[in-house]
Structure 1
Amino acid sequence: MVKQATLQSNKIPTIEDAKFALDKFNIQNEIKASAGRSQIDPVIDVAQVTAPTCICLDLEDLKCFEAVEHQYERWGVIFHNSLAIQPSNPAFPTYSGLTVLMGAPKSGFLEATFLRPVNSVSAFVTSSQRLVLSAYDRNRQLLAQTALPGSNLANSDSAIPPNALLSISANNIYSVTFCAFNGQFTLDQFRFCL
């Protein structure tokens, strides 16, 4: 049985709505995960986590135009076709900080693979067109899918504001893809919950 979730175009989730996700899964811990190895980062073995925990990636340690792949591997996620940018185009504002992720060099596509299965994934997204978030199990079988129904660029006539929260939940997610066919998009505040 495939679980499906669809982002309703008449109500875009806000940061306040994001708090429900922590309560919904009885999340007890949230970790801000840095790309750099810092003395102040908590020592955590993601494979040993037993209490519900969310990890939110701090993108600010990434250099502009840095290919992002294994920087967050110690936190349990590897990216494919991902580039860190500091958007100069005002149509793609950041949600927080200066740095976001975008699908590149192949435009319109970004994949995250988890070293341990997760139960939910979310990010604040800005896209030039419809953006589909898909979750897959260990065997690359589709578990769930949701979509930003259309463009939400800043300073456009879109009914959807930029940096809309796009989230997906299912048991045993091993990878997710973000796909905007022939489009561009940015991700900020990428979060996943174990």
Structure 2
Amino acid sequence: MVKEAIQSDTIPRFKGTGLNLENFHLQNQVIASEWQGQVEALADTTQENSHNCICLNFEDLKCFEAVERQYESLGVIFHECLAIQPSNPAFPTHSGSIVLMGSPQTELLEVTFLRPVNQVSALVTSSQRLVLSAYGRDRQLIAQTVLPVSNLANSDSAITPNAQLSVAANEIYSVTFSVFNGLFTLDNFRFCA
């Protein structure tokens, strides 16, 4: 049953983050909340040389649900995270009411791709400096980007909540979001082949 799947030839713009998706030169995208048979069919209709992108908004997850293999059919497995509805206004959602929270015990959220991807991005809100790292087949670091400071809502941060972090490199097999001594949320997780 299709809960939400949208294909679009336009690129969404996230205002106020200082970062945007225009750097990815995306022609087609698929926005999905969970694997549905329609998502793969939509991705197969794209032009041969265009990017196939999937954006997960997590709205089909239940609050406090451990997230791991719910999106395996889309080629992605999550580790060390929970779906939450933030009750703390410092961690606003971007769209909908559900976001992922990295494990407070490990201060890390890891994502593994079943097939390598070339671009990964997400909207993040963090209480501390947050690092997005991309790894190749043998766990070698191939790209990294940093949210340099906290970006909680109602704080004096120059960076707004739900700032976009992205990495691009050939053959990304996994990414990690890591923070030291803090909490973070993740929304609109996007990956492109």
Relative to the length of structure 1, the TM-score reads 0.83
Matches within 5 A, 1:1-150: 12-14=17-19, 17-18=20-21, 20-23=22-25, 27-35=26-34, 38=36, 41-44=38-41, 51-104=50-103, 106-150=105-149
- What 5-or-longer segments of structure 1 have no aligned partner? 1-10
Compute the RMSD of aligned alpha carbons.
Answer: 2.3
**Counterparts of 2:82 and 2:121, CA distance in 1:** 18
Distance apart, 1:121 and its partner CA: 0.5
**Counterparts of 1:107 and 1:153, CA distance in 2:** 20
Describe the SS at the equivalent of 1:123: strand
Per the alignment, residue 3 of structure 1 pairs with: none
1:153 maps to 2:159: no
| Residue-by-residue CA offset, 1:16-60 (whole Å, 9 max, x unaligned) | x22x0342xxx332111222x557x3344989x854211001310
**4+ long deviations beyond 6 Å:** none
Describe the SS at the equivalent of 2:117: strand
Quickly say closer, same or farther: Cα 1:136–1:120, change in 2 above 3 A: same
| Residue-by-residue CA offset, 1:128-162 (whole Å, 9 max, x unaligned) | 00000000001000001110001000011111111
Matching residue's letter, 1:166: L
Describe the SS at the equivalent of 1:62: coil
Quickly say closer, same or farther: Cα 1:105–1:157, change in 2 above 3 A: closer
Q: Which has the higher contact order (CA 8 A, sep 6+)?
A: 1
**Counterparts of 2:188 and 2:54, CA distance in 1:** 10
Relative to the length of structure 2, the TM-score reads 0.84
Per the alignment, residue 163 of structure 2 pairs with: 164
Matching residue's letter, 1:54: C
Per the alignment, residue 8 of structure 2 pairs with: none
Quickly say closer, same or farther: Cα 1:131–1:38, change in 2 above 3 A: same
Distance apart, 1:182 and its partner CA: 1.5
What is the percentage of aligned positions where both structures have the same residue? Answer: 64
Partners of 2:107 and 2:180 within 8 A in 1? yes
**Counterparts of 1:77 and 1:46, CA distance in 2:** 15
Describe the SS at the equivalent of 2:124: strand
Quickly say closer, same or farther: Cα 1:61–1:171, change in 2 above 3 A: same
Partners of 2:151 and 2:161 within 8 A in 1? yes
Describe the SS at the equivalent of 2:159: coil
**Counterparts of 2:162 and 2:186, CA distance in 1:** 8
**Counterparts of 2:58 and 2:88, CA distance in 1:** 18
Partners of 1:30 and 1:53 within 8 A in 2? yes
- What 5-or-longer segments of structure 2 have no aligned partner? 1-15
**Counterparts of 1:62 and 1:105, CA distance in 2:** 19
Partners of 1:46 and 1:75 within 8 A in 2? no
